[in-house]
Amino acid sequence: MDESERFEANAVVSIGAVALRQLLNRLGYPPSKHVSVVCELTGLSKPQSGRRVNGTSQWSIDDFALLCKKLDVDYVEALELAVEPPLLKATFKSGQDSLPCRIRIGELVERPLSTDVLATKTNVGWVVSKGIKAEKAYSVSKLVIDVKGQEPGPKIAVFDDSQDACDSMCDALEVHGFQVQPYYALENLMRDTNSGASFDGMVIDWLVGAGHVGKELEILSRRFPTVPIIVLTGLDPHGAGGAADLASVVARTGAIYFAKPAVTSILVAALMPRAIAHYEQRLGSSR
C-alpha cells in the first residue's frame, strides 16, 4: 500500500490498540462492544480480539488497514489521530477582527518573520496572529477556524451515555452548521426540556445502561410533535429488549432510526430539512 510508507510497522504495534479504541468510540461503539466488533469484522476469536483491543497482541499494518476499510474509515487518519495531541482553543486575530479557533502548536520560533502565523500564550489564553512580537511565540502546525454565519443555525440536542460517542456526533453536526447541546445523562435532557429548553432536532442513543430510552422517546415526541428525532443504536437485534421494542417505539413516535455507525452525510440529509423548518418557525414566532 502506498500510504503505508508513512508509518513504520513498529509504530502500528505501539499505537494500533489505542487507535482502534479511539476509532470505535468515535463511531459510537461503547467499550463493552469493542471486542465483539473486532471479532465480527476480522473473524478472530473473542480471546484473540480481546488481545488486539487491549494491546497485548500486535496489529500489522495490513490487518489494521483492512479493519478500517470495513468501517469505512481512512486508516492513516485513524493512526494519526491516535498519536496527535488534542487541538487547543485559541483566538485568531486579523486587524480588528477576532475569531474563535483551534490550534496545534509547534516549535518555539526565535526569529519570527512578519508574515509568520504564530501563537502566543496570554493571560486570556492562546492568541494566533501574523507577526506576533512576544518573548515566546510558537509556530502553528494546524489551525481550524469554525466559520459561522450571523444566524446560529438549528439547535440539536445530542444524547449518548458514552461521552466520546456524544462528542463525536456533536463535532460532526457542528461541521454542517448546527448548534449542538451534548447530554451524557438522559435525565439532564429530560430536566432541560421540562424547564422549557427548545430544540430543532434531537439525536438520541437507544441503549442506556441495562435498558433503553423508549419511554423518554415517547414523552419527547408528544411534547415536541414537530421536532425531528433520530434514534441511534448498535444493539444486537437478537438481544433482550432489542429490535421489537425499538420497532414499536419508532412506529408510535415517528422517530427516524439509524444503525450505528451511522453515515453522517445520510443522517444530516434526514435531519436537515425538518430541523431547518422548525428553526425558521421558532425564529419567526419569537420575533
| C-alpha cell read off for 89 | 482553543
Sign for the CA dihedral angle at 123, 124, 125, 126 comes to negative
Q: If you average pLDDT over every residue of the chain, what do you get?
A: 80
Complete domains list, the chain, with CATH: 3-83 (1.10.260.40), 88-145 (no CATH), 155-286 (3.40.50.2300)
Task: Please tell me what DSSP assigns to residue 111.
Answer: S
* 197-231 tens-digit pLDDT: 889 999 999 988 778 888 999 999 999 999 999 99
As given in the structure block, the three cell numbers for residue 60 are: 500489522
pLDDT at 282 over 50: yes
Cell numbers standing for residue 284: 419567526
Alpha-carbon gap, residue 235 to 243, rounded angstroms: 8
Encode 69-107: b = buried (16+ Cβ within 10 Å), e = exposed. Answer: eebeeebeebbeebeeeeebebbbeeeeeeeebbbbbee
By C-alpha distance, which of 111, 12, 119, 15 is closest to 60? Answer: 12
Q: Give the predicted TM-score (pTM) of the model.
A: 0.51
**Which cell goes with 285?**
414566532
Residue with cell 510508507: 5
Q: What is the pLDDT of residue 159?
A: 95
3-62 pLDDT per residue, tens: 334 433 444 444 678 888 877 877 777 788 889 888 988 888 988 888 888 888 888 888
Q: What is the pLDDT of residues 68-113, one digit of tens each?
A: 888 887 777 777 666 666 677 888 887 666 777 888 888 888 777 7
Q: What DSSP state is assigned to residue 123? A: T
- Other Cβ atoms less than 10 A from the Cβ of 14: the count is 15
Question: Which are the contacts of 227, defined by CB distance < 8 A and separation ≥ 6?
Answer: 199, 200, 201, 202, 220, 274, 278
